[in-house]
Amino acid sequence: MSSMPEWLQKLLPILILLAAIGLVFARLPKVELGHSEAFKRRRFFNWFPLGMTYAFLYMGRYNVNIATSAMGNRTTNADFGTIFFWGTIVYGVAFLLNGPLTDRLGGRKTILLSAAGSSVCNVLMGAVVYAVLTQDWQPPGGLVAVLSVLYAANMYFQSFGAVSIVKVNAAWFHVRERGLLGGVFGILISLGVYFAYDWSALIVKAAPTYWVFFVPAAILLAFVVLDYFVIRDTPGDTGHPDFDTADASSGDTGPRLGLKAVVSRMLRNPTIVVILLIEFCSGYMRNAIMQWYPKFAKATGIGGTFVASNWGMLLCVAGITGGMFAGVISDRLFDSRRGPVSAVLYAGMSAGAVASLFLIDSMMLGWTVIFMSLCVIGVHGMLSGTASMDFGGKKNAGVAVGIIDGAVYLGTAAQSLLLGRILPSGEAAKSAANWGNWPIALVPLSFVGLLLATRVWNARPQPKAAPLPTAAPVETLPSPRTGTGG
């Protein structure tokens, strides 16, 4: 193993895990809906490049973290916080525009727009960093201001990514197939996190810092070309018959409603309101773990331990495992319901948060937060990647995932404001004992998420003639059918 290149050493565990998941997946009983083998092959060649484009969008999103760290005294943690803050704000607000745009234009066009726009923005950020580092250029208004503007533009285009992937897949997957698709969504998120953290770190070790922007820009441009020729919005666009996906758009033959009407109906649907609140908790928990454990490890002097030094790889492995676990139990155990899966995973997060209270001085803390990451990525894949299709319906999937992902980023903003104020800095941060507020801040939201998930235990999409009808209260939604759903 020691003779292998470093990048291969980091990638090998993920490849082994993917192979194992593929073997298990191949042995599972199939959900038979009458799809031909030709349709299944064409569907794979539709969602796989779409999904990999989404994964590499992550690399072109979180690379700014690695870049600002690698620039030494030219940027500080506060500078990174400013740049990331403006990008996050734009990303969250952009859903209000980009969700309806995706429903109108189709996911194929918007994923092309997302990858192309992000590629251009990464080239521009790389050019700025190149000029600053090699020419000692002083940007007008300062480096932070220029990077904030370019990163905000990048995040606008990035916000098309999740909306596009859900919009396209909503037409290709029946409700009973979407549990495993949600698992795949979790895998794509995990691969993206791995690319963003570990590949970017390898790039700045092997090449000047500005290449951390140029490399993902080149990869995204290559996927623009591939996606143009391969991805199609519906089976009918490839010569295969379209079919009823049995989601909330089933039976809806009327015109698409405007944004105001769709949002109004969604917010009157108690199931969707609960999902929004759960995803607020998911955004809070995911980023409170992913962003702050590396800072904790560096400050307390354990940055060289296995978990801290392989953070991106372990998050990827955890996310893949959590995504597939969530997908399998949703479709095979809970008959394609998403609420029970979220409740099981939030129970795991709650247990991990409580354990963290007692492990703050222990090396086991790292493995505990990895387990919690497994749980939260599984929930996010189930709700943003799958439930948004189910309850939004393929006609309104763009708006649905936009609103749900917007709730995720509200949670992200909340944890940033809270933890940035209550966690130690400077000399105080060097002692793990002073970080007790961190797990304390995780416990309440983990239990709130668990309680909310139990409220949608029996929730299912209700196909009706009107697009996105107001659902019955969660308590009166149909009881789960018996059996495995196979």
By the 10 Å C-beta count (0-12 exposed, 13-18 middle, 19+ buried), 283 is classed as buried
Q: Which residues of 448-468 are buried (b: 16+ CB within 10 A; e: fewer)?
A: bbbebbebbbbbbbbbbeebb
Cβ within 8 Å of residue 84, ≥6 positions away: 64, 65, 151
Cβ within 8 Å of residue 264, ≥6 positions away: none
CATH topology of 43-239 equal to that of 262-460? yes
Residue 290: which of 202, 366, 177 has the closest Cα?
Answer: 366
pLDDT attached to residue 175: 73
Rounded Cα distance between 59 and 189, Å, is 10
Residue 81 corresponds to which tokens in the numbers above? 């916080």
Top-tier CATH class for 262-460: mainly alpha
Rounded Cα distance between 213 and 225, Å, is 19
Show pLDDT as tens, one digit a residue, over the chain (486 residues).
445 666 666 666 666 656 655 655 554 446 667 788 899 899 989 988 998 999 999 999 989 878 887 887 788 766 877 888 788 888 878 877 888 888 889 999 999 999 999 999 999 999 999 999 999 898 988 999 999 999 999 999 999 988 898 888 888 888 777 666 666 766 777 788 888 888 888 898 899 999 999 999 999 999 999 999 999 999 999 999 988 777 555 555 556 656 677 677 777 778 788 888 998 999 899 888 987 888 788 788 887 888 887 887 788 888 777 777 777 776 667 766 777 888 889 999 999 999 999 999 898 999 999 999 988 888 877 776 565 556 655 666 667 777 777 788 788 878 877 887 788 877 888 899 999 999 999 999 999 999 998 887 776 655 554 444 433 333 333 333 333 233
Q: Tokens 């943003």 map to which residue?
A: 384
Residue 265: which of 62, 468, 18 has the closest Cα?
Answer: 468
Torsional class of 368: left (φ above 0), alpha (ψ -120 to 50), beta (otherwise): alpha
Rounded Cα distance between 16 and 85, Å, is 36
Q: Collapse the DSSP code of 155 into the 3-class scheme (helix H, G, I; strand E, B; otherwise coil) and give the result.
A: helix
Top-tier CATH class for 43-239: mainly alpha
Rg of the chain over Cα atoms, rounded to whole angstroms, equals 22
Q: What residue spans define the domains of the chain? A: 43-239, 262-460
* Residues 455, 309 contacting (CB under 8 angstroms): no
* Residues 193, 290 contacting (CB under 8 angstroms): yes
